Amino acid sequence: MSSLFAFDFDGVLFDTARECLDIAWETSRDLPFATRWHGVAEPPAEVERAFLQHRYWVGPPWQYAVLLEGIATGKLPPDTDAFLGRARTQEAALSGFTEAYFATRTRLAADPDRWLRTVRAHDVPATAFTRLHRTGEAVILSTRDAASIQLILSRMLGIDDAVQLERGGPRPKWQILAEAAEHRGLSHERVYFIDDHPHHALPAHEHGFTAHLALWGYNSPTDVAACRLAGLSAITIPQLDATLSAHSKGRTP
């Protein structure tokens, strides 16, 4: 193998924002702010709009509760930094939310047909991943749980044997890429990483990997400007195939 293509999952290969909203909505039902929506079966349209608009603020699942609270109270922070500052003050109180979130996902996934209707493939990236998977060059590097990734790949792309790089806890993605490069005898430059979050893409770039910020994913204009200032490539879906083709030939597009 002369190169490795590592793809993030949520935001890059699949749009899972609606899935995240449904799970967070169900998990938040017993929280104080959710009394506003008592008896409402599904997120109202205005909640969905606000959630999708600010989805890129959220990192770990417990932060979805912070976002929904801001939507419920009409007190959304003005930007990412303000949101994360507010989230830090609520982290201890929401310590059980992430476990409950994944339990809710497991419950909803028991009806996979209904659950998968909330997940949408990004056609061009998903096709590119499938093509590179056939040659053994594509892997998944995601913070999402491996079981749900495999189920989505199997049901939506017909891939039952995708390689998922193990994070082994809250380690940064660039460290996982470094281990994968060493294991395969590749230089960092020959490991191509596509992620939609600057928190992952920028450190990979700084450690010598050929990283790209996926502009079709969950990020903001401020994120994009900061990444470009640091020299990180930011690409659109129409640019993806040409970028991957150039990398497959050992060139920089």
Q: What is the pLDDT of residue 193?
A: 98
Q: Would you call 26 exposed, middle or buried from its count of C-beta atoms within 10 A (0-12, 13-18, 19+)? A: middle
Q: What is the pLDDT of residues 103-148, one digit of tens each?
A: 999 999 899 888 999 999 999 999 999 999 999 999 999 988 888 8
Residue 42 tokens read as 């599904």
Q: Does the structure show a pLDDT above 80 at 166?
A: no
Q: What is the pLDDT of residue 252?
A: 64
Q: What is the pLDDT of residue 136?
A: 94
Q: Does the structure show a pLDDT above 70 at 1?
A: no
Decide if 252 contacts 246 (C-beta within 8 A). yes
Q: Does the structure show a pLDDT above 70 at 161?
A: yes
Q: Does the structure show a pLDDT above 80 at 186?
A: yes
Q: Structure pTM?
A: 0.88
Sequence spans of domains, the chain: 4-15+119-248, 17-116
- Would you tell me which CATH number, out of the four given (3.40.50.1000, 3.30.499.10, 3.40.50.280, 3.30.70.2740), belongs to the domain 4-15+119-248? 3.40.50.1000
Q: What is the pLDDT of residue 160?
A: 95
Q: Which of 97, 96, 76, 100 is nearest to 86 (CA)?
A: 76
Mean pLDDT over all residues of the chain? 93
Q: Does the structure show a pLDDT above 80 at 245?
A: yes
Residue range 7-21: average pLDDT? 95
Residue range 148-165: average pLDDT? 94
Q: What is the pLDDT of residues 219-240, one digit of tens each?
A: 888 889 999 999 999 999 999 9
> Range with the lowest mean pLDDT among 35-49, 64-78, 192-206, 238-252?
238-252
Q: Would you call 109 exposed, middle or buried from its count of C-beta atoms within 10 A (0-12, 13-18, 19+)? A: middle
